[in-house]
Structure 1
Amino acid sequence: MASEAGSIVVIQTQRMGDLILTYPLLLWLAREYPGHALTVVAEPTFAGPLAPLSPPAAYVPLARGGELAGRGHDLVVNLSIRPEAARLAGELAAPRRLGPVADAAGVVRVGGDWQLYRASVVHNNRHNRFHWAELNALDVVPVADMARTVWPAPRTGGPGRRRVGVFVGASEPDKRPSVDFTARFVRELAGRGLVPVLLGGPGEVELGAEAARRAGIPVTNLCGRLGLKELAVIGQDLALLVTPDTGPMHLAAWTGWRVLNLSIGPVSAHETGPYQPGHFVLRPRMSCRGCWACVRERPVCRAGLDPARVAYVAARLARGEDCRLAGARVPGYELLRSARDDAGLYGLVPVSPDHRPGGRPDGPCDAREAVGGLWQAVFGWFFGAWGEDRAALALAGLAAGHPALAGRFSRSLAGLGAALGRDARQGSVPDTGFARRFAPLVRPLAGFFERVLQNGDGDRPSRLRCLSLLARLAALGSRP
C-alpha cells in the first residue's frame, strides 16, 4: 500500500457492462490506496449517466486522456483492448502500469500476471473460472480483501411487487433469446399474475415492438424510452429483471435489482455473470457452454429455452419464493445462484441441492467443471493468491473423480514441456496458434505460456519462467 496520497488512473473504454464491472476495482483501490486521487478514462456515453452510481472518481473521455500525461501517477491500470488505450497507458508516467501498454515504438506488452492471464483466455476461456470484476483487480488487491467485502443482498420480491422487467436485447444477437421466446414468455408471466415490462435501448425498439405484437396481450413496452438513469430508477420498483448477458444486467445487479440471467450464446457466466451474490443464472447443460464464439451454424443453446419453465422460475423469484426452486427443472439447462467460494471469490452454486454444476445427482462434478476448478486453483497458487494446498486438493479431486482424465492431464503436461524445450532450442517465439496445438485440458497453461513468451520476445527469463511453472505443477502431481 502506498504511504502518501498520489494519483491512480484506470482506463476502461469498453462497453457499459465492462465499465460497471470496474466499479468493484474502484472501491478496492480506495481502500488499498486511501487518499489517492482516482481518475477513470471511459466512454462519456456510459460514464456520464452512470456517474451518480459509480464509486467516487473523476471521469475523463479517451479523447482528453492526453491531459493526464503531464502528471506523475502511482499506478496505471489499463483494462481496455483498444490500441488508443494502450498508447495512452504508455504515455502516462507511473512506476507500475498494468494491462496493455504501448512503448514509443508502438510495441504492446502486458503488465501484471493477472492481466497477462486475462489476455491468455481470449478465445481460450473454456476452463477459466475467474470473474472479470476480480481479474480487473487481482494484480493490486489481495484475495483476502476481496473476501472481506460484504455486498448488500439484492431486493427480494413479494406479494406486493408484481412487475417483472424483461430485457429483450444484447450486444450480440446470439446472446439473446428469440423474439418468439420473449413473446411466449411474456404471456406465461401474465398468466401467472405478473406484469411483464419490456425493456431495451434504442437498438431494441423494433425487437420490443415485435415481441409485444406477437405476445397478443396488453404489455408495457419501454424499449428505447429510458436512459440509463431512468432504467436504474424504474428498477427499484420492479421485482426482478430477466435478461441475457447485457450491460443493463450489470447495472441491475450493481443497484440491487434482482437478476435472472439467461446465460446463452457466446458468453460465460463464470466470467460475466451478475457479480454480487444472490442473483440467478440459467445456463445450458452443454459441453460447449460458456464459449468465446459459437462455432456452430446457429447457437443451439438458445433453441431449448422453454418459456413456461423459465416463467415458473421467474415467478418464484419475483414472489420471493426462492426456497421452492430446489426442485425446479428446465430440461437441458441448470439453475445456479451467484455466491462466493471458500476463498471469497465469485462462484456459481446449484440451486437444486442434489445437483452439482454440470454433474449427475449425488455424483462428482462433471469433468469440465473439475478441470476448471483445477486451473483456478493452479493459477491462484502460481500468482500468490493462495498456497499450493488448494491446487493439490483440486488435482487430487480430479484424480479421484476422473482418473483417466487425470492420467491424460499428466501426459499432456509432458507434451507441453517437450514443445517448450523444442522451441527453446530453435529460438522460436510461439505464434498465436501455439495453445491450439494442445488438448483443451492443458490449453489454459499453454495459452498463458504463449502470452508470457510473446510478452518477453522469447528471452531467457520468459522461457525459464514457463519451465519453472511447469516443473512446479508436475511436482504437485507427484506429491504423496
Structure 2
Amino acid sequence: MSKRPILVLQMQRMGDLILSFPLFLWLERAYPGHPIWVVAEEKFFRPLMPVSPRVTYFPWEGVGVLRQNRYELVVNLSIREQAANLAGELHAESKLGAVASPGGTTHILGNWQLYRASVVENNRHNLFHWADLNALDCIPLSTLAATKWPQPRTLHKDSNRIGLFLGASEEAKRPSVRFWADLCAELLGRGLRPVLFGGPLEQGMGQEVACLCRGPVLDMSGKLNLGELIAVGQSLQLFITPDTGPMHLAAWSGLKVLNLSMGNVNPWETGPYQNGHYVLRSTMSCALGCWSCTRDKLYCHSPFTPSRIAVAAKRMIIDDRAGLQKMNMPGLRMSLSARNANGLYGLQQLSGSKAQSGDMLGLFWQQYFGLIFGLWDAVGAERVWDEFAVQKPLLAAKMRTHLPHLGKAFSKGLARSAPLDDSFWNSCPLVLRQFTGFIHLFLQNNDYNRQSWIRVLSYYEQLAAIFSRS
C-alpha cells in the first residue's frame, strides 16, 4: 500500500527554494516511503533539479491535480494568499504554515512558523536561520543536530580564479559598480583572477565593471544558466557575493563562499547555511537585524573596502584561519558558518568587535523560544541571562522594570479575552520586542480566545522566572 505524499508549498524566490533543500532531505528521513512533492515556480525549480534532493516538483499551473490526493503533511512556506487557500482546501493529516479556512480567515499553524512570521520587520534579535525554521515544527531537533554538512572544497593551490557575483534582489543588498571594479584591481594585484557572474539583469553591470577595472577580467555575467554556473563554479577557489540566490546555490554545491552581508539582510536568517563559509557584516547597531533601511544613506556599506576584501579573500582560499583572525577591519565583523551547541545554524566569530548587547539579547531570545517551544530546558536561557545581567546591568534592569507592566496587561486581557490597544504594543521597549512581537501575533492568530491568553501568561511566567534570578 502506497504511503500518502508530503506536500511543501514554496512559492518564493530561488534562494528560498534552495534553503528548503535541507527540509526535503529531513522529510525523506523522518517520513520514509512517503513521496515528497513540492509546488514552486518553474523558472526556479527547473534549472535546480540536477542538484535538488529527490522530490517531485509541480508548477503552480499544475496544482489542480494535487486536489485529488490526501496528504500525510502539508507545509506551506509561502507568503502568497493563493498558497494559503490551497493549503486550506487540501485534505491532510496535519498542516503547517499559513492555512486559509473556508470562510476566508487565515491562521498560521505551528509554533515555529508563527515565530518566523512574528520577526517580519522585527528581526533585530532573531538568531534562527530560515532553513532551521522551515523544519523545526515537523523534524526533531536531534535530526537537525545530527546532520553532517560537508566542508566547502579547496582546490589545488595553483588555482587562482575568484568568482564575483554582482547582483542582488535589491540595490541596497549589493556593492556598487565602483566597488566591484576596484575589488577586481585589488585581486589582480595579488595574483588572483576575478571572474564576473550575474543574471541577465547584471549583464550591463558586468560590462561596466570590466571597463572600469581596465584589467584582464573575465566577464561571464548574463551568459550562464544556473546549471552552467554550478559547473564553472567547480573551477573557482572562492565565490564573493552579496546575499542572493546564487550564493545559496554556491554553498549547496560545495563552492566556498564569502558573503558580503550588507543592507537589509540578516546573515543569521539567510547567510550561507552549510558549514565553513565566511560572512562579513557591519558592526553598526542597526545592522544586527535590518528589514528595511530608514536612514539617509546606506552607512553599513562604508566599512566594506575592496582592499580589505581582497586581503581576506587571499587568506580564505588557503584556509589561513589564523591570518583571518588577526585581521583588523574596523566596522566589520568576520564570521564562519557553523553549528551551535544545540545543533542549529550559528555564526562563529573570527574577527571584529566583541559581542555587543544586541548579540547577547539575540542569544537569550533564541534560548528562551527554544525553551517555551520544547526544544530544550531552561538552563541555556538562565545562563545567558545571568551573563547578560552582569555585563549589561542597565539594560537588564530596564527589561525587569517593564515586566510588571506586561503581566498586568496580560492579566487584564485574560479577564476580557479581548485585544489590547495598539498603544500598549507600541510602548514596549525594543529590548523586549522579540517577545512582545511574538505574543501579539500569537494572540491575533488565536482570535484572542481564553486559551491563548492562558498560554501567554504561561510564557510570561517562564520569562519572569528567568528575570528574577538576578
State whether residues 168 and 198 of structure 1, in contact with CA within 8 Å, keep that contact through their aligned partners in structure 2: yes
Q: Output the amino acid matched with 1:451.
A: L
- Counterpart of 2:268? 270
Alpha-carbon spacing, 1:30–1:366, altered in 2? closer, same or farther (3 Å): same
- Counterpart of 2:378? 388
Structure 2: runs of 5+ lacking an equivalent: none
1:459 and 2:457 matched: no
- Counterpart of 1:418? 408
Alpha-carbon spacing, 1:312–1:243, altered in 2? closer, same or farther (3 Å): same
Alpha-carbon spacing, 1:91–1:253, altered in 2? closer, same or farther (3 Å): same
Q: 1:71 aligns with which of 46, 69, 72?
A: 69
- For 1:323 and 1:239, how far apart are their aligned partners in 2? 19
Alpha-carbon spacing, 1:435–1:121, altered in 2? closer, same or farther (3 Å): farther
- For 2:124 and 2:426, how far apart are their aligned partners in 1? 12
Q: Which moved more, 1:62-71 or 1:283-292?
A: 62-71
- Counterpart of 1:376? 366
- For 1:434 and 1:295, how far apart are their aligned partners in 2? 24
> What does 1:428-467 correspond to in 2, within 5 Å?
428-429=418-419, 435-467=425-457
- Counterpart of 2:136? 138
Alpha-carbon spacing, 1:435–1:278, altered in 2? closer, same or farther (3 Å): farther
- Counterpart of 1:321? 320
Tell me by how many angstroms 1:194 deviates.
Answer: 0.5
- For 1:41 and 1:136, how far apart are their aligned partners in 2? 15
Alpha-carbon spacing, 1:235–1:396, altered in 2? closer, same or farther (3 Å): same
Secondary structure of the 1:336 match is strand
Q: State the TM-score, normalizing by the size of structure 2.
A: 0.96
- Counterpart of 2:303? 304
Alpha-carbon spacing, 1:157–1:417, altered in 2? closer, same or farther (3 Å): farther
Secondary structure of the 2:93 match is coil
Tell me by how many angstroms 1:410 deviates.
Answer: 1.4
- For 2:177 and 2:151, how far apart are their aligned partners in 1? 31
Alpha-carbon spacing, 1:4–1:71, altered in 2? closer, same or farther (3 Å): closer
- Counterpart of 2:30? 32
Q: 1:403 aligns with which of 390, 393, 398?
A: 393
> What does 1:59-98 correspond to in 2, within 5 Å?
59-98=57-96
Tell me by how many angstroms 1:158 deviates.
Answer: 4.4
State whether residues 158 and 318 of structure 1, in contact with CA within 8 Å, keep that contact through their aligned partners in structure 2: no
Tell me by how many angstroms 1:467 deviates.
Answer: 1.1
Alpha-carbon spacing, 1:383–1:392, altered in 2? closer, same or farther (3 Å): same
- Counterpart of 1:235? 233
1:330 and 2:320 matched: no
Equivalenced residues, count: 469
- For 2:469 and 2:58, how far apart are their aligned partners in 1? 52
> What does 1:11-410 correspond to in 2, within 5 Å?
11-289=9-287, 290-352=289-351, 358-359=353-354, 365-410=355-400
State whether residues 310 and 330 of structure 1, in contact with CA within 8 Å, keep that contact through their aligned partners in structure 2: no
Q: Which moved more, 1:410-419 or 1:33-42?
A: 410-419
- For 2:413 and 2:90, how far apart are their aligned partners in 1? 35
Tell me by how many angstroms 1:427 deviates.
Answer: 4.8
- For 2:422 and 2:245, how far apart are their aligned partners in 1? 30
Q: Which moved more, 1:68-77 or 1:372-381?
A: 68-77
Alpha-carbon spacing, 1:158–1:227, altered in 2? closer, same or farther (3 Å): same
Alpha-carbon spacing, 1:261–1:192, altered in 2? closer, same or farther (3 Å): same
- For 1:428 and 1:216, how far apart are their aligned partners in 2? 66
- Counterpart of 1:362? none
Q: Which moved more, 1:309-318 or 1:10-19?
A: 309-318
Tell me by how many angstroms 1:57 deviates.
Answer: 0.4
- For 2:438 and 2:350, how far apart are their aligned partners in 1? 33
Q: Matched residues, percent identical?
A: 47
1:470 and 2:460 matched: yes
CA RMSD of aligned residues (A): 1.7
Q: Output the amino acid matched with 2:170.
A: E
- For 1:476 and 1:196, how far apart are their aligned partners in 2? 52
Structure 1: runs of 5+ lacking an equivalent: 360-364
- For 1:408 and 1:76, how far apart are their aligned partners in 2? 42
- For 1:131 and 1:397, how far apart are their aligned partners in 2? 24
Q: Output the amino acid matched with 1:308.
A: S
- For 1:413 and 1:58, how far apart are their aligned partners in 2? 49
Q: Output the amino acid matched with 2:345.
A: Y
Tell me by how many angstroms 1:431 deviates.
Answer: 7.4
